[in-house]
Amino acid sequence: MINPLQKIITVSLSLFFFIACNNPVKNEIEIESLPKEIPFALVIHGGAGTIKKEYMTPEMETAYTNKLQEALDAGYQVLESGGTAILAVKKAINIMEDSPLFNAGKGAVFNSLGKQEMDASIMDGKTLNAGAVTGVSHIKNPINAAILVKDSTRHVMLSGFGAEEFAKQYDLKFEDESYFFTDKRYQQLLKAQGKEQALLEINTLNVELIDNHQYGTVGCVALDKDHNIAAGTSTGGMTNKKFGRIGDSPIIGAGTYANNLTCGVSCTGTGEYFMRTLAAHEVSNLIQYKNYDLKKALHQVIHIEIDSLGGDGGMISLDKNGNIAWNFNTSGMYRAYKKSTGENIVKLYEE
């Protein structure tokens, strides 16, 4: 026989389970209140050009793969710890600027006078604020100077002597010319000048034959946990360049662009064609005004707009939702990405 106290407990428990099972609104609210994963991601490139497996030794392939992964990890660690997209771009590019494998910083190519003239740019997709330097010869990490221009001046681009004088005020690391010298790049200069002289002698100068089609420009696009996008690019330009030539890398909208409404982009290749098409900004425009997705926008710019002018190169991009895409019309591009989902990809060749 059930006593009155047991009866009260039984009725109370039944009522509790009935209410719990028939209160979906309460259950939905509880589910929605659980913390959600905030996506973040990083994509980098180390240049596009004649990058074929048959031209690479196993040692060189390993060296490029490891350095790309090192740069990727450096930027990713910033994002994972809650750091900004700007800082992630800086850290990733610094790794590549400090490596002789790439045409940026220490591995910068030589101009026609046997000097290095380096360019870099950075853009914040949240504010559309940007900074760039061009024609600098002694700043160890040009991307750091570009960030200073963005943060500490009313300007977007500083050049040459003025850019270096500005950078000295902020104690950026400077190096003498011997630091930037690499025999590989010097041999590329001699080869380019030899071809140029031979072609001049027969009066059939052809720029395409002079260029060895190896572009080592470096770049990075990042999306942080606050949903902000940043993009940056750093380069030594073109081997044997003359007359203070400037390419697309320091030009906002041509070689670098970031906008939280759409995407971030970094480019590499024959800069003149990326400037003529405002390639990086064009990708953003196609997404914003024509509803293109990232892959379609990159294909349009690389394979239709730049191809039609005879240009070559590649682009990496990351949109506001963390989607990543890259495209190039050369035989390869050093590239890699890492997402908060755990996905980590490093590639060198056309696939």
Q: CATH number of the domain that 184 lies in?
A: 3.60.20.30
> 224 and 339 share a domain?
yes
Does 280 map to a domain?
yes
> 18 and 61 share a domain?
no
> 10 and 52 share a domain?
no
Q: What is the pLDDT of residues 214-229, one digit of tens each?
A: 568 999 999 999 999 9
CA dihedral 324, 291, 278, 265 (to 10 degrees): -20
pLDDT of residue 216: 84
> 343 and 272 share a domain?
yes
> 220 and 319 share a domain?
yes
> 102 and 187 share a domain?
yes
Does 163 map to a domain?
no
Spatial contact of 322 and 41, defined as CB atoms under 8 Å apart: yes
Does 140 map to a domain?
no
Q: With a cut of 70, list the residues of the chain below it in pLDDT.
A: 1-37, 199-215
> 30 and 123 share a domain?
no
Does 142 map to a domain?
no
> 194 and 292 share a domain?
yes
Match 């200073």 to its residue by tokens. Answer: 148
**Annotated catalytic residue: which of 84, 134, 217, 235?**
217
> 323 and 223 share a domain?
yes
Does 295 map to a domain?
yes
> 2 and 123 share a domain?
no
Does 208 map to a domain?
yes
Q: Is 50 a catalytic residue?
A: no
Number of domains in the chain: 2
pLDDT of residue 202: 64
Does 139 map to a domain?
no
> 239 and 193 share a domain?
yes
Its domain, for residue 64, covers 41-131+177-349
Does 154 map to a domain?
no
pLDDT of residue 30: 36
> 110 and 191 share a domain?
yes
Taking the model in full, what pTM does it have? 0.86
